[in-house]
Chains A and B, each alone.
Chain A
Amino acid sequence: MISSGSRFYRKVGFGLRADEDVPTDRLGWALEQVKDIPSLIWPGQIRSVDEMNDIRTFFLSAEEKLEQNIKDPTELRTKRETLYHQTGRRYFEPYELAIRHYQSVHSNKAVFERFQNFWGNHFAIVDKIKLATFNNGPYHRETIRNQMDKRFADLVMATTLSFPMMRSLDNFLSRGPNSKFSKNKKHKKNVNGLNENHGRELLELHTVSPAAGYSQEDVINSAYILTGWGLWDGTKEKEGKKVTFMSDMHEPGTHKVLAKSYKSKGWSEKEKGENQLGEFVEDLCANPICIDFISTKLCRHFICDEPTKQMIDHIKVAWKASDGALPAIHIAVLEAADRYGDAHHKFQSPEVWLLQSARMLGGNWPGSPDNFEYDFKQNPTNNMRQPAWVLEEIGHSPFRAKQPNGFPDHGQAWLSPEYLVRRLTLSQSARRIGLIDKTRPVAGMIKEAIARNFEDGTFWDELTAKLGSQVDDKSLCVAFLCSKEVLQS
């Protein structure tokens, strides 16, 4: 079976849906999807970053109060359970995953979602202190998404000064050793107020990478520039939730990183802090090593594990010509995938594989939005929690990075016996959990998916011949979804 389709649709997106025509111009089809920020098609409630942060703060302080005030373990358990229901403790992460997956499976501009997910992973927030539960979903779909028609430097600035990044990389605790705060005799017991965590990862993970050859002294100075940025909301809540510049904590003076000095300039203290960090971030993002590092990472994510110089250079040229404008960078990635990608295969991450499966096979994934209407009075239903469970099962919960470098972009990293077992077993349940249109015969759905999303359907003819005519639907799903041709695109 020779089809008119192409794996390009899966390489840069989540494939073509069962009701989509094969475009006559595949590159044009893709470019159309990244020029601006598409609106969310999820019909249910969308909560802002700030709203969700309020809920998290409320939850943490209420839970702490319960633990302090209630000594009887049974009573504590009951009260805590009620609090979990009231605050959506078990609801919000799967709810955010549902919004994300609905957009990827059903929208007409799903290529855009691949880029949002890429940046969400590049600026990953580690799974700790309930950030995955309440904050990381909104961080991806608001903090990151809203910057995607701006420049890379704007995205770095927005993520750097976002609540989850400030909180998870500890900068809210960092104090310049010579700041007004540290010089105050009351605070003398602090041996050294500096916290290097964020300053290091801003260099290593978010911008220039270790290839820039920075020293420990550079890391310390990067951390000095970040001092003063912390969390405060003027109340006595358990912890501040608003990212603010507090000049009393800032290390005064000029700080030198990668041989360039950053002065403290501006009228107000806040302006000085903003200017120093702003200038620093602009320089990091314009650094050729940063441009090379991120261009390579984009090619690796979208095209193949070992991108060629041609591919990478194509992104770098667009980056430099546009001063790092994200739409221009995204367009260049799609052009490189179109021009050079057909000769290379990419083994896809579990989440991309899951969403491609659902989109290609007309799946009702993550389920009807009505299923996600929650009354905050009991445990969320199994239907509501399913997106989170399934992602955990296949080993890829996007809001739960174990380390701040996120999930690997190398396809090779997703190839282990156990990862394969998880995809094999999940494929058996594909129809039951709604990855496939339940109203139509499986064999027919697969053939249609192949016609749109593969250059050549011979592999399926061969597989089905070997499986024999008596093969059941479950086995057909496993054979298709775990075929080499679906696992890589």
Chain B
Amino acid sequence: MIIPRRHFIQGSASLMLAGNWATDVLANQRAKKNLIVIMLRGGMDGLTAVPYIGNNQLSDLRPNISVEGGQKIDGSFALHPGLKNFKSQWDDGQAAIFHASSIPYTGRSHFEGQNLMETGGISPYAENTGWLGRGMEAAGMKALSISLPMPLLLRGNSDNDNFYPSKRPMPSADVMAVLAQSYHGQDGLIEAMSKVRARPVAMNMGGSDDPDIEALAKIAARQMAQDGGPSVAVFDLGGFDTHSFQGGDRGQHARELKKYDLAIGSLKRHLGTSYDDTLVVTLTEFGRTVAQNGGSGTEHGYGTALLLSGGLLASSRLIGDWPGLKKSALYEGRDLAATIDARAAYASIMGYVFDRDHKAMVKDAFFGADLPDLTKQIFG
């Protein structure tokens, strides 16, 4: 069966509660809503995460790397077998997929692409702040990044902190106070030191040597679940650049997807009831070519899939405008096309989670770009 190009918003019927039910009222009652962004570096292949199964087009183009054991979500799409937690959340009405979407970048360079996925701009290296940092600055919120470097995505908001567990004890508060005073003239150091000194003692103790993604997600969840804790968290996962031995059900891409899946499982478990007020969304620089290459991998492409999960979703659904996989429908005859600017989804998500008007959000975070309001498609 070839499904025609069409607009699809499909939810499991039992959970399609309603369109615009009183989200505003609810928002006012909720103490705090959380946004978690999981960056997937290297170019996540949307067609491995959410393969098209409506016909043999995809498996014919990928003889060695097609996903065979997918978990069907409808007649046209399946979820990668490694996405077990995502599937269970899908079944609970807490997951959504934006397929055939990407940031508006077609240059196929990782480093330009990663720069743009974080800055939200359209010219590589033109901005020094990230869309999330700017959006949060405007909304007056603070975030925690679970990584050693401070991601560009969060820059632009001086309240944001980054953290990665370690075992060693901190120097005395006196020494740190003396150092902090001596950093005058070096703003970056002043800022970093003030965040280090403001941290709760517990945060700088009892880490493990080699924390896995589940443990990191637990740390983030605990921080976020606290009163006055951060409402935004960012994770950084690498390893999606599979030019060779990409694998299908198993293999390199599967292993990386599994890490993402473990993260959302752990977040749900450790956020507890706060998961009802949380949205988790992925971010990557581009998708990958539809056909496999020499080396049973895929090349840098364009369209990919955004994976959304969390209790803020009203129901599970596939969102987007599926362009199909016919050669004529592919971007430059090789990549899945992107039929919607992923920034529109991010702006709509931030607007909803931060209780801000979509237009204002686009202005604050995305330089007033022409981005449609997708709030209803995502949350309605």
Which residues of chain A come closer than 8 Å to B201, judged between CB atoms?
none
Pick from A204, A413, A427, A463: contact of B178, CB under 8 Å:
A463
Binds A, one of B288-296, B359-367, B368-376: B288-296
Pick from A347, A416, A484: contact of B150, CB under 8 Å:
A416
Whether B250 sits at the interface, judged by CB under 8 Å, is no
Q: Known contacts A210-B112, A484-B183; decide if A417 and B192 are in contact (CB<8 Å).
A: yes
Q: Which residues 426-472 of A sit at the B interface, judged by CB distance below 8 A?
A: 426-429, 459, 462-463, 466-467
Closest CB of chain B to A305's CB: distance in Å?
10
When chains A and B are docked, how far (Å) is the Cα of A175 from the Cα of B296?
A: 12
Q: Is the CB of B111 within 8 A of A417?
A: no
Q: Known contacts A174-B295, A403-B110; decide if A429 and B175 are in contact (CB<8 Å).
A: no
Q: Which residues 127-151 of B sit at the A interface, judged by CB distance below 8 A?
A: 147-150
Whether A371 sits at the interface, judged by CB under 8 Å, is no
Which residues of chain A come closer than 8 Å to B199, judged between CB atoms?
417
Whether B124 sits at the interface, judged by CB under 8 Å, is yes
Closest CB of chain B to A196's CB: distance in Å?
5
Q: Is the CB of A421 within 8 A of B196?
A: yes
Give the number of A-B contacts (CB < 8 Å).
159
Q: Known contacts A419-B149, A484-B189; decide if A200 and B108 are in contact (CB<8 Å).
A: yes
Q: Is the CB of A417 within 8 A of B162?
A: yes
Q: Is the CB of A191 within 8 A of B192?
A: no
Question: Closest residue to A408 on the B side, CB-wise?
Answer: B149
Q: Is the CB of A417 within 8 A of B291?
A: no
When chains A and B are docked, how far (Å) is the Cα of A488 from the Cα of B187?
A: 13
Whether A424 sits at the interface, judged by CB under 8 Å, is yes
Whether A422 sits at the interface, judged by CB under 8 Å, is yes
Q: Which residues 174-211 of B sit at the A interface, judged by CB distance below 8 A?
A: 174-176, 178-179, 181-183, 185-186, 188-189, 192-193, 195-196, 199, 204
Binds B, one of A80-88, A91-99, A473-481: A473-481
Q: How many residues of A contact B (CB 8 A)?
A: 57
Q: Is the CB of B164 within 8 A of A418?
A: yes
Question: Closest residue to A462 on the B side, CB-wise?
Answer: B182
Closest CB of chain B to A389's CB: distance in Å?
9
Whether A185 sits at the interface, judged by CB under 8 Å, is no
Which residues of chain B come closer than 8 Å to A429, judged between CB atoms?
168
Q: Is the CB of B124 within 8 A of A424?
A: no
Q: Is the CB of B148 within 8 A of A418?
A: yes
Which residues of chain A come closer than 8 Å to B204, judged between CB atoms?
421
Q: Known contacts A174-B294, A210-B112, A424-B196; decide if A463 and B189 are in contact (CB<8 Å).
A: no
Whether B14 sits at the interface, judged by CB under 8 Å, is no
Whether B253 sits at the interface, judged by CB under 8 Å, is no
Closest CB of chain A to B227's CB: distance in Å?
22
Q: Is the CB of A175 within 8 A of B294?
A: yes
Whether B300 sits at the interface, judged by CB under 8 Å, is yes
Pick from A194, A195, A479: contact of B179, CB under 8 Å:
A479
Q: Is the CB of A475 within 8 A of B166?
A: no
Question: Closest residue to B197 on the A side, CB-wise?
Answer: A417
Question: Closest residue to B175 on the A side, CB-wise?
Answer: A475
Pick from A191, A193, A463: contact of B182, CB under 8 Å:
A463
Whether A278 sits at the interface, judged by CB under 8 Å, is no
Q: Is the CB of A478 within 8 A of B111?
A: no
* 27 A-B residue pairings within 8 Å (CB atoms): A173-B295, A192-B291, A195-B243, A197-B243, A200-B108, A200-B109, A210-B112, A210-B124, A402-B41, A403-B111, A405-B110, A416-B192, A417-B150, A417-B161, A417-B163, A419-B192, A420-B193, A421-B170, A425-B168, A426-B168, A466-B178, A466-B181, A466-B182, A475-B171, A478-B171, A483-B179, A488-B186
When A and B form their complex, which 8 residue pairs have the shortest distance between CB atoms, in order from nearest? A173-B295, A193-B294, A425-B168, A416-B150, A197-B243, A415-B188, A417-B195, A395-B148
Q: Which residues of B contact A (CB under 8 A)?
A: 41-42, 61-63, 107-112, 124, 147-150, 161-164, 166, 168-172, 174-176, 178-179, 181-183, 185-186, 188-189, 192-193, 195-196, 199, 204, 238, 241, 243-244, 291-297, 299-300, 332
